[in-house]
Amino acid sequence: MPAFKAPAPGFSVRFSPFHENRLLAATSQHFGLVGNGHLLVLDLSAAGPGGPGLAPLFSFPTSDALFDCAWSESHDSLCAAASGDGSVRLFDVTLPPAQNPVRLFREHAREVHGIDWNPVRRDAFLSASWDDTLKLWSPDRPASVRTFRGHEYCVYAAAWSARHPDVFASASGDRTARVWDVREPAPTLVIPAHDHEVLSLDWDKYDPSILATGSVDKSIRVWDVRSPRAPLAQLAGHGYAVKRVKFSPHQQGMIMSCSYDMTVCMWDYRKEDALLARYGHHTEFVAGIDMSVLTEGLLASTGWDEMIYVWPFGSDPRAM
Q: What is the pLDDT of residue 133?
A: 98
| C-beta of residue 314 within 8 angstroms of C-beta of residue 308 | no
Q: How many angstroms separate the CA atoms of 219 and 215, rounded? A: 6
When pLDDT is averaged across residues 64-88 and rounded to a whole number, the result is 97
Q: What is the pLDDT of residue 42?
A: 97
Percent with pLDDT over 90 in the chain? 92
Q: What is the pLDDT of residue 213?
A: 98
Q: What is the pLDDT of residue 45?
A: 81
Q: What is the pLDDT of residue 320?
A: 47
Q: How many angstroms separate the CA atoms of 70 and 25, rounded? A: 9
Q: How confident is the model at residue 285 (pLDDT cuts 50, 70, 90)?
A: very high
When pLDDT is averaged across residues 107-112 and rounded to a whole number, the result is 98
pTM, entire model: 0.95
What are 211-267's pLDDT values in tens digits?
999 999 999 999 999 999 999 999 999 999 999 999 999 999 999 999 999 999 999
Closest CA to 181 of 118, 245, 107: 118
Task: Say yes or no to pLDDT of 28 above 70.
Answer: yes
What are 7-27's pLDDT values in tens digits?
999 999 999 999 999 999 999
What are 115-130's pLDDT values in tens digits?
999 999 999 999 999 9
When pLDDT is averaged across residues 141-164 and rounded to a whole number, the result is 97
When pLDDT is averaged across residues 32-53 and rounded to a whole number, the result is 76
What mean pLDDT value characterizes the chain? 94
Q: How confident is the model at residue 315 (pLDDT cuts 50, 70, 90)?
A: confident
Q: What is the pLDDT of residue 75?
A: 97
DSSP string for residues in the chain: --EEE-SS-EEEEEE-SS-TTEEEEEEEGGGGSSS-EEEEEEEEES-STTS-EEEEEEEEEESS-EEEEEE-SS-TTEEEEEETTSEEEEEETTS-GGG--SEEEE--SS-EEEEEE-TTT-S-EEEEETTSEEEEE-TTSSS-SEEEE--SS-EEEEEE-SS-TTEEEEEETTS-EEEEETTSSS-SEEE---SS-EEEEEE-SS-TTEEEEEETTSEEEEEETTSTTS-SEEEE--SS-EEEEEE-SSSTTEEEEEETTS-EEEEETTSSS-EEEEE---SS-EEEEEE-SSSTTEEEEEETTSEEEEEETTS-GGG-
What are 257-275's pLDDT values in tens digits?
999 999 999 999 999 999 9
Task: Say yes or no to pLDDT of 94 above 80.
Answer: yes
Strand 133-137 to 146-149 pairing: antiparallel
